Amino acid sequence: MISFFIKYRNPILITTVIIFLASIGILGAGVMADQYGVNAVLAKVGDTKVKYKDFVNAYDMVRQQYINEGKEITEEQDKQLKQEIVQSLIMQEALSQAAGDSGIGTSKTEVAYIIKNMPAFAPNGEFNKNAYIYVVRNQYHVNPAEFETNLMKQINVQKFKRVLALSALPTSIEKAILTKGSTLKEEEKQALESYLLELKANSFAMAYSDALNAKYKTTMDMQI
Indicate which CATH number applies to the domain containing 56: 1.10.4030
Per-residue pLDDT band for 131 (boundaries 50, 70, 90) equals very high
The verdict on residue 30 lying in a domain is yes
The verdict on residue 146 lying in a domain is no
Domain count, the chain: 1
Domain residue limits at 187: 3-107+156-220
* Least confident residue range of 36-50, 94-108, 139-153: 36-50
* Least confident residue range of 37-46, 171-180, 200-209: 200-209
Bigger pLDDT: 159 vs 4: 159
Residue 170 has pLDDT above 60, yes or no: yes
The verdict on residue 29 lying in a domain is yes
The verdict on residue 36 lying in a domain is yes
The verdict on residue 88 lying in a domain is yes
Residue 218 has pLDDT above 90, yes or no: no
Per-residue pLDDT of 43-67, as tens digits, reads: 888 888 888 888 887 888 788 888 8
Angstrom distance (rounded) from CA 35 to CA 52: 10
The verdict on residue 15 lying in a domain is yes
The verdict on residue 210 lying in a domain is yes
Per-residue pLDDT of 27-46, as tens digits, reads: 444 434 445 666 788 888 88
3-state SS record for 113-168: HHHHCCHHHCCCCCCCHHHHHHHHHHCCCCCHHHHHHHHHHHHHHHHHHHHHHHHC
In sign, the C-alpha dihedral spanning 192, 194, 195, 199 is: positive
Half-sphere exposure in the Cβ direction for 205 (13 Å, CA): 18
The verdict on residue 128 lying in a domain is no
